[in-house]
């Protein structure tokens, strides 16, 4: 385990490990030699720290979205299908059907296997 002189230094150092490990807490904790509970405790105790971790996670999501759009631009049918399945639901792109009757919503999910799975 790394020895840092203060809790604030340890928290700051963890942010570097977290970003380096693509916002995956388990990997960052293992590399730094701390437990996940330590990070969760830091988040509970420090709202600003929680926000910093969220910013790193959002950055990773942005990165992956960029990669997805690169694949879509290349004509990847899997990527197009994935995007429409999750972002195009309002236009009917889904394996799910919701029917509302007398205030009750019935939800049907297709058990049809996708050739991508």
How do residues 42-91 score in pLDDT, each as one tens digit? 999 999 999 999 999 999 999 999 999 999 999 999 999 888 888 887 77
Return the pLDDT at 104.
67
pLDDT value, residue 68 = 95
Q: What is the mean pLDDT of residues 19-48?
A: 96
Strands (E) located in the chain: 96-101, 104-109
Query: Among 24, 51, 22, which residue's Cα sits nearest to residue 36?
Result: 24
Q: Beta partners for 64?
A: none
Percent of the chain with pLDDT over 90: 64
Q: What's the sign of the alpha-carbon dihedral 82, 84, 88, 92?
A: negative
pLDDT > 70 in the chain, percent: 75
Q: Is the dihedral of CA 2, 8, 51, 56 positive or negative?
A: negative
Which of 1-5, 28-32, 72-76 is predicted least confidently? 1-5
**Among positive and negative, which fits the CA dihedral 12, 13, 16, 19?**
negative
- Provide the token pair at 37: 């509970």
Q: What is the pLDDT of residue 109?
A: 59
- pTM attached to this predicted model: 0.68
Higher pLDDT, 93 or 42: 42
């Amino acid at each position: 385990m790394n020895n840092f002189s203060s809790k604030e230094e340890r928290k700051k150092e963890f942010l570097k490990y977290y970003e380096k490990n693509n916002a995956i807490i388990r990997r960052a904790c293992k590399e730094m030699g701390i437990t996940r509970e330590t990070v969760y405790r830091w988040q509970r105790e420090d709202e600003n720290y929680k926000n910093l971790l969220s910013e790193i996670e959002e950055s990773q999501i942005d990165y992956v979205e960029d990669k997805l759009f690169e694949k879509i631009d290349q004509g990847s049918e899997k990527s197009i299908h994935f995007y429409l399945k999750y972002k195009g639901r309002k236009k009917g792109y889904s394996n799910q059907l919701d029917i509302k009757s007398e205030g009750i919503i019935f939800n049907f999910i297709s058990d049809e296997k996708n050739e991508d799975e």
